[in-house]
Structure 1
Amino acid sequence: MTPKHRLLVLAVAVVLLGALGAGFVLHAATRADHKNAPRAGGPSVSAGRVPLTGAHRIAFVNDAPGPQNAQVATVPAGDTGGGRTAADLKCARFYAAAGTGVCLQSGLGVVSQTNRAVIVDASLHTEHTFALAGTPSRARVSPSGRFAAWTVFVGGESYGAAFFSTRTSIVDTRTWQLLPNLEEFTTVLNGNKYHAVDDNFWGVTFASDDDTFYATLGTGGHTYLMRGSVARRTLTSVGVQNVECPSLSPDGTRIAYKKRVLNGASLWHEYVLDLRTLHTTPLAEHHSVDDQATWLDNDTIAYALPHEGDVKSTDLWSVPADGSGTPHLLIRDASSPAPL
């Protein structure tokens, strides 16, 4: 190839790369414009203060398209369909209790994706940040606000994938001691110490004693409900299989969870487990729920389902915890509910 031909090839390559880069920028801008364009008939959203204290409000991540998309917002618990107030804090996942919040963020950095957990106070001011090892999945805060936990995907993209890997961490917000991986805890499964290369833990939910928590262990193609102790660094099986993303009731007597209804398929139904009798009750929601449910009170749970016609957005629904009644649309264009 002559020097003239090499220069011609180089010039063509530069033009093609420039066009490709412009295409990526235009595609990203188009997606951003779509995300920032309010949906006709959508909820009213206004910017303002969002304190994590005060009774009878529900905090959540605002999924409505517009400038407040992905921001933490609140609505009155008695008027969840009314206007919402959104703060300048964007999260992929969020939860709060007793004036402490955990916000899992996922964004594109200069070179790669940047994921972090942000612990905030009652005024949503940042208290501490932690780098995340993967994509945000689940987040919880203990009833006292002392402990926060999160789960991320470090391999695979969903719990329905054939192969996925998670990492679950717990932090003490008094001392900022981080327990980076529940896989480092001593695990007892069916009465015997257990460890396998495919161990995965996810979906922490805390009891009110600032020590006990529950989580899911996935190993060997099965999932188990595990009871953990922060102080002892232990996880012990409760004796119930096919339990994912547990959520402990406020009175500490029951676990809401998603149960896989078809082996190998991404289909889950919501159940409630009585921890005293280990009796399970199917709930009235018949859609597949891929979420960690939240107890609004001792009688009602809330969860996210894809928004009709838009799988990138979700709505929050509620259903009685005793298996009666019918599902009720709680908050449109929302996810990650946290009753304040």
Structure 2
Amino acid sequence: MGRRRAAEVAVITGASAGVGRATARLLARRGIAIALLARGRTGLDAVAEEVRAAGSRALPVEVDMAEHDQVVAAGQRIEDELGPIDLWINNAFSSVLAPFRDTRPAEFERAMQVTYLGYVHGTRVALHHMTPRDRGVIVQVGSALAYRGIPLQAAYCGAKHAIVGFTESLRCELMHERSTIAVTMVHLPALNTPQFDWLLSRLPRRARPVPPIYAPAVAARAIVAAADRPGRREYWVGASTALAILGNRLAPGLLDRYLARTGYDAQQTDRPADPDRPANLWLPADGPGGRDRGAGGSFTDRAHRHSAQAWLSRHRLVTATGLTAAAVGALAWRRAAG
């Protein structure tokens, strides 16, 4: 297979804030035309201006990813106005922060529709346009919680687990068809995004990400790197992600007990919850009259701007070469010393 064609048109779902916003900023520096999909008009207009200021074309599209017909219409509009879609990044989500028994059935269903079926709809539309050309890349933005469920986030964890199973099935089918369309996943750690300020929460105290916390730019760099090298099945970002996934493979029962003891307090600050905080499960928090939230959340002072693990994961050849050289050097030193 020859060198993969560089992307000229990219689609980002959940582009108005958080990881999607940070990824749009990074891709815009490459001059890629970007379709920005989200529900909130305020955030969409703001990120579109950022993309244009970086010298790229932007197409903001208001769309609810839970609605298949809206996603189909958005895909056709992108092809008509920007050109053939080369890269589709599924990132949009919403959820509920609450014990499962305190999450109403309609709320759980809605969270699954946005977070899981939104990826399914986005992938279906991407394939509809990519398959006739037999080229393109689909990046599924996942989470450490796709492999290790935690308390108070049953809807989110369930959706992320489902995305893994769906993507694995799809990847096998594409291989069977000998398609050159690539599908990869990027599993993220806890991030400082607006989600903890606008997800529906029934927690008594203010919600927070479980430390260590990373800046959205860390996730964006990993997503763009995965789009450049989509031959790998998945990427893990952050040492905490690697530890959660590997730990769950080795000792899931031990993690059950540990999270039962620590998981509630770890996801809440000492401050009481704001009863007037917005909730974006049904309507966007940055809709008409709402304020632009940007990429970062309320924990910037605690967020790491870099991840050594993520860099090493992206540069496996350099890492392997360095480790081999270190091992050879150590062996030579021992022989000389002996």
Q: TM-score range by the shorter chain?
A: under 0.3
Higher gyration radius (CA):
1
> TM-score, normalised on structure 1?
0.28
Structure number having the greater helix percentage: 2
**Relative contact order (C-alpha < 8 Å, sep 6+): which is higher?**
2
**Higher strand proportion, which one?**
1
